[in-house]
Structures are given as C-alpha cells and as structure tokens.
Amino acid sequence: MVLLSVVMIVNALSYGTIIPLLYPYAARFGIDVFSLGFLFASFSIAQFIATPIIGRLSDRYGRKPLLLISLFGTGASMTLFALAWSAPVLFIARILDGITGGNITVAQAIIADIYPPEKRVKGFGIIGASFGFGFLVGPALGAGLSLIHITAPFWFSAVLAFVSSMIGFFILPETLSTKNRTLVHTEPLFPFKKMFGAFFLPVVGPLFLVSLLVNTAHSTIIVGFQTVMVDILNLSTTYIGVLYSLVGLFNIVTQGFGVHYLLKKGISKTKLLFVSLGLLLFNMFFLSVLPGLIGFTFGMLLYPILFAPLLIIITQLISQATRAEDQGGMLGINQSYASIGQMAGPASAGVIALWLGVWSVFALTGMLFFFGLLVLFKNRKTIGVSKLVVDL
C-alpha cells in the first residue's frame, strides 16, 4: 500500500503540475473556451475505449504491467505536449494520454486485491489522498516552473511520470493471484453488451448511473473554474497555482481522513452520498450567481470537501458487489462511465459558456448533481444494503 501510494503521488504530481497552465498554454495555439472543452473531451473519448480493456487485461495478466504501461504513456503524452507546434498536436497528446490512462482503474483493482470488501473504502481513501497530495504540491510547483518557461511544467511532468513507472517496475509487487487470472481468460476484453446493459445490473446499475452524473458534473465544473479564473477574473498563474494547491490540501484531508472518520462514527455510506450531493447542489447555486473573487474562491475551496466522498464511496460499493476475479473489469467499466462524463462535461460546458456565459456552467453542474440525488433517492433501499455479488 505504501509503495502504491508513492507511485500514485508521483503520478498525480506530474498531472497536478500542468493543471494551472493547460488553458493558458493551449491558448497560444488558438484554443478558446469552446475548443478547450473538446481538448478535455478528446482525452476522455480515448479513455472511454481503453480503460475497460486495460482493466480486463489487468485481470488476465496482472496489475503491475498494465499500471506501468499507463504511467509510461502519461510520460510520453507530456513530452509530446511540451514539444507541440500546433493545436492538432495538443489533441494527439491528450488522446495518447487517454489511451494509456488506466492507472486509476488498475490502482483500484490493486486495492480490491489486498483489502477485504469492508475495508476497501480506507484503501480507496488513501489512493484519493495520494492524488490529492499531487494536486496540493503540483499546481504551485507548475506556477513556479512556468516562470522559467511555459513548457517547463510539462517537461517536469513527463520526467515524474517516467520516474513513477521505474519505481513501480523495480519495487511494486504483483497483487493478483494466479488463480483469479485463469478465471477470466475466456472473457472479452471490451464487454460491449454487458457494458451498455450495466445500468440494469442489480445494486451496481444505479451506482454506475450516479457515477456517470457526478463525473459529468465534475468535468463540467473544471472547465468553469478554468475559464472564470482566466477570462473573467484575470488571475495570475501564481494565484491559480496557490488556489489549486489549497484545493489539493482540502482534498487530502477529506479523502485521507474525513470520509473514513465519518464512516467510523456510524454515518452510513448512502447518507454521506445524500449529504454530499445536497450540499454540492447549494454550492453550485451560490457560484452561479456571480459571487466575485472572494465568493468564487470560497466556493471553489468548499467544492473538494463536498465532492471527495462521492467517488470513494461509489467505487467501494461497486467493488463490494463484484466478484474477486472481475474487479479490474467492473472497475474499468465504472471508469469508462466516468470517461463518458469527462467527454460530455467539458463539451457541454464549452457550448453553454459560449451561449449563456461562463457562470451558467455552474448552474448546469448543479442540475447534474440534482439528477444524481434523484437516482440515489429512487434506489435508496438497495444501494449499500444488498450483499449480492454481481457477475460481470
């Protein structure tokens, strides 16, 4: 677990470093707010196709080799991004990162390998906190490196991703048993029928739908944050980097300690999902009414605290209802639904910002959280209660 956390911290640090600079850097190649949405979406389209395949391959051949391939692909993508000479090259780089972007799914499958079902929420929280640490240090580091050159953060991210893959190669052990590998060799790599019918599976079906909605909302608001900071508030890269670092800090505390603490105190997982979604809905309403710099900063810093429990608990509930030999495949399907959200969210944000203004993005995000609440309410009696183990 410690070794996996180190690998994930380095990987998240490589990504967090470039966050404040994606839009300013892309703007040098003529990327506007509308095109930015599709630049984000290009990554997700590739990830949608590749992630369940990577997850299933990890069920067949082990977690370690697929994790290393994913990390190496991130390094190659960041290298190409730094060398970009036109907007199409930026899109190619993002697509490459999406194709090899299965590291989260494989990391989640490793958690499922080493933790019993009732303790996996702790493991998922640790992984989330590891990513949070990367987003704590990364944005401030990226802002500082940009003072050297606008491409310096991308080169730095590439080196970190390559280093992460080397750490994993030499130190990280394999966690998937030989027995569980042999059980899935006859399964298709990309279960098209099962994937598109997954919404109708018992227990996990509604969770997939909630996951789709909250990931769409999350991807939508990221575009909103970026465009408000750059186009409306005209914030410096230093301020943006510090703000993202604070977001990372709150994310670490909430995912690493807060969620686990609340569950230990007896708060049910479904109740925590309800509270998080409800408070997020109010936060989006607040952000949509033009709060200004201070209000925007407050709303943005509140967001990771409210959002952090969602993905941890949803992932844990899906894993809990999945057979041991299907963990990679089922979690890969969940990540593919997340990728659909990451496609639809940025594209929708770009369109609505162009038509109605940037602040309308937060209203759209709130509506998505509201639909998530409705799905959760409708299935409240089965989510998190049934002990049924779903067969992929």
Q: Is the pTM of this model over 0.85?
A: no
Q: Is the pLDDT score of 279 beyond 80?
A: yes
Q: How far apart are CA 60 and CA 181, in angstroms?
A: 5
Distance from chain centroid for Cα 164: 18
Q: If one looks up domain 2-171+197-378 in CATH, what number appears?
A: 1.20.1250.20
Residue matched to tokens 């960041």 = 78
Confidence of residue 179 (pLDDT cuts 50, 70, 90): low
Nearest to 317 by CA among 117, 116, 115, 109: 117
**For every residue of 207-234, which 3-state class applies, written as one string?**
HHHHHHHHHHHHHHHHHHHHHHHHHHCC
Q: Which of 102-116, 216-230, 316-330 has the highest mean pLDDT?
A: 216-230
* 8-state DSSP, 150: T
Which phi-psi region, left, alpha or beta, contains residue 131 (left: φ > 0; alpha: ψ -120 to 50)?
alpha
Tell me the pLDDT tens digit for each residue of 339-383: 777 777 777 877 787 777 777 888 888 889 999 888 888 877 766
Domain boundaries, the chain: 2-171+197-378
Tell me the pLDDT tens digit for each residue of 232-275: 787 776 777 778 778 877 877 777 677 777 777 777 777 888 88
Tell me the pLDDT tens digit for each residue of 284-311: 888 887 678 888 888 888 898 888 888 7
Please name the helix (run of DSSP H) or strand (run of DSSP E) that holds residue 203, with its range, or none: none
Nearest to 104 by CA among 23, 215, 184, 183: 215
Residues 6+ apart with CB under 8 A from 88: none
- Give the count of alpha carbons within 13 A of 248, CB side only: 26
